[in-house]
Amino acid sequence: SAVISQKPSRDICQRGTSLTIQCQVDSQVTMMFWYRQQPGQSLTLIATANQGSEATYESGFVIDKFPISRPNLTFSTLTVSNMSPEDSSIYLCSVEILAGVYEGTDTQYFGPGTRLTVL
């Protein structure tokens, strides 16, 4: 597995501002992802953070709204830009750990999440 930390753990922001969320992993990983979890809902993939290149966004998410950085194999940031109350959610980063010789398949592990409230 991996130890994943996120900063901040929670924040309350004003409409129209931006917030950058940091994700730090205790080991080098190839695949890092950003998810959104709206209140009472399941997780929705925002994008895959690619090291050394632009992130790959899922349908419904765009770079201008959710710019992502991935400067190295242990760190990524997600920015929520020009926020509105509809952006109030939990934002989670996850990493994919490659399967060992005796394991089934690659597995995703999640950070603790960042709870964002936009007023």
Partner 1 sequence: LAKTTQPISMDSYEGQEVNITCSHNNIATNDYITWYQQFPSQGPRFIIQGYKTKVTNEVASLFIPADRKSSTLSLPRVSLSDTAVYYCLVGDPEGGKLIFGQGTELSVKP
Instruction: Catalog residues that contact partner 1 under the rule CB under 8 A.
Output: 1, 4, 42-45, 58, 92, 94, 104-105, 107-113, 115
Closest distance of CB 17 from partner 1, Å: 23
Closest distance of CB 107 from partner 1, Å: 6
Closest distance of CB 4 from partner 1, Å: 8
The SS3 of residue 110 is strand
Cis, peptide link before residue 8, omega less than 30° from 0: yes
Is 54 or 103 the residue whose CB approaches partner 1 more closely? 103
> How do beta strands 68-72 and 107-110 pair?
unpaired
77-111: burial string, b at 16+ Cβ within 10 Å, e else:
bbebbebeeebbbbbbbbbbbeeeeeeeeeeeeeb
Is 37 or 81 the residue whose CB approaches partner 1 more closely? 37
Q: Are 29 and 73 in contact (CB under 8 A)?
A: yes
Is 53 or 105 the residue whose CB approaches partner 1 more closely? 105
Closest distance of CB 15 from partner 1, Å: 24
